[in-house]
Amino acid sequence: MSTSTTSESPTSAPLLDLQGLVVSVRRRRRLWCTMAVLGFLAGAAIAVLMPPAPSAMTKVLVAHAEDQPNDTGTLIRTDVAVLQTTRVADMALKSLKSSEKPEDFMKDYRGTGLTNNLLEIDVTADSDAEAVARAKALADAFVTDHVTRMQDIAKAESKALLDQRDRTKAELAQVNKEISERSTAGDTTGAASIETLYARRAELNSRIADFDQRAADARTGTPSVIAGTQVVDAARAVPHSLPKAAATDAVIGLVLGLFLGLALAAVGVVVADRPVLRRDIAANLGASVISELPRRSGRPWQRRRTRLARERLTTSLARTVRGSAEPVSLLELGCARSTSLIALNVARALSDEGPVAVIDGLPGSQLSGRRQKPGDPTVLSGEQASALPDQGHLIGVGSVAPGTAWTDLQYLGTQTVLVVRAGHGSAAWLHTVARQLADQSIPVIGVVLIDPDPRDRTDGTLWDGLQTALRGRSERSDRQSATGRWQTERLPMWAQRVPDSNQEAR
């Protein structure tokens, strides 16, 4: 029989399935919600248990002799750097009469240039009063240091100009002397030379006047710098609001925790490679998804829909068991309780037609060891089922979780319905399940998906799997009746690369 597939080849599959990644991360919301809550609580706890140290703030207006409208902030950055020097720190400590080392004191304050001429000083201490005192002392020390430096610069510049003026005056005196000597001697032969001396004298007089003016300007600039540099905002304690700080830190912790949780969830999803979409689970198992059920009853307004879905599944599986002469098994992967409930519901639906027995092949005898209620079907362990007479319907319940005894599955049923919890098994293990069932000649007639993603809109149907889907059972029954014997056939799966080996399962 010729088959065709509409599924994409694994070689053309994207390196990262963004849809599956988003769905898997959303399903792990418990992780990242927990991380966000922990971050929120940690931020609030830090604000309460580790409050900021008492601090004070003051602002200083700094005037510079070189102030220019187009200054890019170089001068105020220099002032910030000067504030963070041992000289300024030592001056402040001396005014406070403190024996603390300047190097240690420098760690407790910082300066910030708000504008080209406005400097903000923040100081921390053991108490608000101490912080205010230190901020005031530091501001005064900075102002004193700045004014002193400006005065020293002005004095040095003025002295240099006056020294240059004095040298020019000495040169002028020499020129005047030469002119006087020539005039006294009545030397008229060197008229051109005398004119040169007069011109030189005029030039020296002009330079002397210029030096005097520049020296006066240098001295005049210092008072404006002294008057302009002052404390404009007196030192005051910075108020601290515990509720505001706790709220701020809690929000920051919430954001960081949420980001970390999402990152961990995404990394875990990529590393674990656990399919959650219908199409991926069907492709890895080589069988179509025939029904979906939630793990729990859900919210009150969802219970009716869940109950109807369970009833439809029970009716469908009961019809399958009723129309098949081969025993049917339910094999679970990550949902033993849901599988047990499905098996019991199917057995109850078939109990009116004759004897029905449920064979418990789950680890730990979860079904056969339970307390039976009136009207419950007969539940037998594997040992008890071996002595059961061959009559009535048999429904086997087993597991395909890691550690399964694969050769025992054929005694539960020669055909099976897989009940798989979405996101429980890795892609490699789903491949293993499909390969082992194929080796045991146990066809998978359908997959019941437990706990699916409610927003999953992918198709979980394999259009080339008619022999292994419930809609193809009529053709299978006709072939079995015509040959007079039961044949376990399995349509070969398309080649898929198994992540944990270099072989292909077909």
**Please, what are the domains in the chain?**
30-50+243-269 (no CATH), 55-239 (no CATH), 275-505 (3.40.50)
pLDDT at 498: 37
pLDDT at 208: 87
For 441-488, how does the pLDDT look when each residue is reduced to its tens digit (9 = 90+)? Answer: 999 989 999 988 888 888 777 766 544 445 444 444 444 444 444 343
Helix, strand, coil percent values for the chain (each to nearest 5): 55, 15, 30
CA distance 115 to 155: 28
Closest by Cα among 412, 488, 504, 476 to 443: 488
Residues 475/466, Cβ–Cβ less than 8 Å:
yes
Matching residue, tokens 């959303």: 26
pLDDT at 73: 83
Residues 462/283, Cβ–Cβ less than 8 Å:
yes
pTM to 2 decimal places: 0.60
pLDDT at 456: 82
* Token reading at 80: 């910030």
For 196-240, how does the pLDDT look when each residue is reduced to its tens digit (9 = 90+)? Answer: 888 888 888 888 888 888 887 777 667 777 888 899 999 999 988
pLDDT at 187: 59
Which residues of the chain carry a pLDDT beneath 50?
1-11, 466-469, 471-506
Matching residue, tokens 């694969």: 406
